Homo-oligomer: A and B are copies of this chain.
């Protein structure tokens, strides 16, 4: 029951982009440096974010990544799903078998998983990059 480094690094990369890519594209190298993440690994994460339509890229010298949308339109859920795939913590143990949920107690645990999944989904889909950048400013201010 743990978020992998994909999700953790990826979210940090997106926050980094939100802060630094307003005026010009940001290279993987610079993100990797600031965030202390392996360049080659981050490269793969950025590919997923791009595929999901969350960032755009420009190749060649001076190139890099930028957010594809406004920070207000990118939720934490969008980011984590792009990187981790399905966020649902559990899927029904049955289903794979023939008759689906024959055994009642299986069905009951299914109800549990649904509630857990719903609460995770709700949490991540109501947080947006915009808020995080805002929050970041507050924290920075507090440090002066």
Interface residues of A (CB under 8 A from B): 1-4, 7-8, 11-12, 15-16, 19, 34-35, 76, 80, 84, 87-90, 93, 103-109, 111-113, 115-116, 118-120, 122-124, 127, 132-133, 135-136, 139-140, 143
Determine which of B2, B103, B108, B143 lies in contact with A104 in the assembled complex, contact meaning CB atoms within 8 Å: B143
Contact B108 A116 (CB under 8 A): no
Majority-rule SS of A interface residues: helix
Q: What is the total number of copies of this protein in its complex?
A: 2
A45 to chain B, nearest CB (A): 14
Q: 17 new A-B pairs (CB below 8 Å) besides A8-B90, A12-B106, A111-B132?
A: A1-B120, A3-B89, A8-B109, A12-B93, A12-B109, A15-B108, A15-B109, A19-B105, A35-B105, A104-B143, A107-B136, A107-B139, A108-B132, A112-B127, A116-B124, A119-B123, A120-B120
